[in-house]
Amino acid sequence: MRKFLKTIFLYVLVLLVFGSCKNEPAETTQICVLIDVTDERFKDEKFVSENLPKLLKLMHLDPKTGGFSGGEIKLSLINEISDSKSKTIKIEPGVTGLMGENKLNRKDEVERFRTELENSFTQILSKANWGTDASKIYQKVTRELIKMKNTPAEKKYVIIYSDMLENSDLFSFYGANWKNNILKLTENPDATLEKLAEKGPALPDLSEFTIYIITTRTIENDEKINISEQFWISILENQGATVSFNSSLEI
């Protein structure tokens, strides 16, 4: 009888071990972070330390506890050029299960990933040409979305730090009649996207994307930001994206 109970106990223990191992999440996440150089707030040294943990949280990673998910984070700037230099930092998914990767080793890998991400983030921001007057936001964002469409990942996020006040040949939030022009574009997103596709890249289907837009509001630009929010949510949600428009990155 004792032998039988011992066998049952061992059998249950093995089931519990295998069951707990199978529950370890190991998703693949792709994140593109775009930072607008017209807003000098983002060159503040606190910007990296405040936002880096939130990016890792989106990937289900924590330097203190590890995590088996993998993927990549791409950092790039929004400026007067529709495509600019970027830096991509990757971490492979960990192997889960009974014979999977040691959790302590994995924690070290996650810490190395965090350190590389922090260094790259800081380097890109330190070399940016801050305070320029023009931003080709639509073209830059659309190009990155198209690139991400062609890569496999279970979750895809685009995080844009910008007031989203486009100032290019496509359309502009500046000039004598900017408000009426933008409101007309907002009213009919299908027609607007067709018009934009004639001069720039076409915005793809975005049903697999979550897009966070983080803006800076002041007394002077509050009205423009409100209209900007209406416009961008209109065209991005029209393509199926889930959009969050806030003054900070809320995860």
In a domain, 9, yes or no: no
Structure tokens at 56: 């890792």
pTM attached to this predicted model: 0.86
The CA distances from residue 43 to 122, 130, 131, 136, 167, in Å, are 9, 8, 10, 19, 21
| pLDDT one-digit tens code per residue, 126-169 | 888 877 766 789 999 999 999 999 888 999 999 999 999 998 88
Q: What is the pLDDT of residue 132?
A: 72
- Report the pLDDT averaged over residues 81-102: 75
- Cα separation of 48 and 143, whole Å? 24
In a domain, 242, yes or no: yes
In a domain, 45, yes or no: yes
In a domain, 22, yes or no: no
Q: What is the pLDDT of residue 18?
A: 43
In a domain, 50, yes or no: yes
- Cα separation of 32 and 72, whole Å? 8
What CATH number is given to the structural domain containing 180? 3.40.50
pLDDT at 98 over 70: no
Please give the angle made by the CA atoms of 99, 100 and 105, to the nearest 5 degrees.
125
- Cα separation of 154 and 190, whole Å? 28
- Cα separation of 177 and 238, whole Å? 25
Q: What is the pLDDT of residue 100?
A: 59
pLDDT at 112 over 60: yes
In a domain, 12, yes or no: no
> Is residue 193 within 8 Å of 238, Cβ to Cβ?
yes
Domain that holds residue 218: 28-246
> Is residue 157 within 8 Å of 69, Cβ to Cβ?
no
Q: Which of 41-45, 128-132, 133-137, 209-213 has the lowest mean pLDDT?
A: 41-45
- Report the pLDDT averaged over residues 20-28: 59
In a domain, 16, yes or no: no
- Cα separation of 30 and 148, whole Å? 8
> Which helix (DSSP H) or strand (DSSP E) does residue 224 occupy?
helix 222-238
Counting residues of the chain whose pLDDT is more than 70, the rounded percentage is 84
Q: What is the pLDDT of residue 216?
A: 85
Q: How many domains does the chain have?
A: 1
- Report the pLDDT averaged over residues 100-109: 82
pLDDT at 206 over 90: yes
Long-range contacts of 9-18 (CB under 8 A, 24+ apart): 17/98, 18/97, 18/98
| Helical ranges in 23-150 per DSSP H | 45-58, 103-126, 137-149
Q: What is the pLDDT of residue 99?
A: 52
In a domain, 113, yes or no: yes
pLDDT at 10 over 60: no
Is residue 172 classed as helix, strand or coil in its secondary structure? strand
